[in-house]
Amino acid sequence: MDILLGDGGINMPVKIVNREVDGVSVVELDGRIVLGEESNALREKLKSLIAEGKKKIVLNMANIKYIDSAGLGTLVAGHVSAKSQGASVRLCHLGQKFHEVLQLTKLLTVFDVYDTEAAAVGSFHGSLAASN
């Protein structure tokens, strides 16, 4: 299953930028999450954050242009792996098409999804209610 989320038909690797906001690891993703090095890069980033003891992780999906079934699988695997180790992965800035894909695949019931990064970060501190 290939899901075009915007103008992302071009072959570009995923760019991953990690930063800390109020004790939460925010991972900004830019590009495509597809089978191969892109999904592997995301998987490795999540594994390394969890290995470093990071328990609160937000994936900012604002600049994801394209995701395929392998990319969705990577998100699910990362969520399950984090949960099994006492960590939590939350998503924000999905965009309408990505939100629809998660709804159609019933993955909205798996992830905690927030409209904004601030809401996702705040959710770890008990402020700012969920927006899904």
Task: Supply the range of the domain harboring residue 84.
Answer: 2-123
Asked if the structure places residue 128 within a domain, the reply is no
pLDDT at 132: 41
Q: What is the 3-state secondary structure (H, E, C) of the chain?
A: CEEECCCCCCCCCCEEEEEEECCEEEEEEEEEECCCHHHHHHHHHHHHHHHCCCCEEEEEEEEEEEEEHHHHHHHHHHHHHHHHCCCEEEEECCCHHHHHHHHHCCHHHCCEEECCHHHHHHHCCCCCCCCC
What pLDDT, in 10s, does the model give residues 90-101?
Answer: 999 998 889 999
Asked if the structure places residue 45 within a domain, the reply is yes
pLDDT at 7: 47
Asked if the structure places residue 131 within a domain, the reply is no
pLDDT at 12: 66
Asked if the structure places residue 38 within a domain, the reply is yes
Asked if the structure places residue 7 within a domain, the reply is yes
Q: What is the number of domains present in the chain? A: 1
Residues of the chain with pLDDT below 70 are 1-12, 127-132
Asked if the structure places residue 92 within a domain, the reply is yes
pLDDT at 126: 80
pLDDT at 127: 46
Asked if the structure places residue 132 within a domain, the reply is no
Residue 90's CATH number? 3.30.750.24
Q: What pTM, to 2 d.p., does this model score?
A: 0.87
